[in-house]
Amino acid sequence: MTFKTSDGYTFYLLRDGSVADSKIRKDIDMSWPSLGAFLESLALSGVNAEIVMPTSQGSLHGLLEWHDPYQPKRPRWTAK
């Protein structure tokens, strides 16, 4: 799964469940221990993200938008 943020960064959900800015361990500058920690960080900073999930028939694209940084568990998801 790939996250492309509204401020221009790309992050990847790694096999161990962490999220990082690179798929190559030695090149990682920013990382979070879990998907939940990453999403909470996005919410608290008010950064939206396009999410790309690979499927057997291509990819599923969606937009994750945060409207209230004080309610990080309540994003709005829009399929593209």
Q: Which pLDDT tens digit goes with each residue over 4-61?
A: 998 999 999 999 999 999 999 999 999 999 998 998 888 788 888 888 988 888 888 8
- The count of domains in the chain is 1
**d(Cα 17, Cα 35) in Å, to the nearest integer?**
7
CA dihedral 23, 57, 17, 45 (to 10 degrees): 80
Q: What is the pLDDT of residue 59?
A: 86
**d(Cα 28, Cα 6) in Å, to the nearest integer?**
20
Q: Which of 27, 30, 26 is nearest to 11 (CA)?
A: 30
Q: What is the pLDDT of residue 74?
A: 60
Structural domain boundaries, residue 72 = 2-79
* pLDDT band, very low/low/confident/very high, at 70 (cuts 50, 70, 90): low
pTM, 2 dp = 0.79
Q: Which residue has the higher pLDDT, 60 or 68?
A: 60
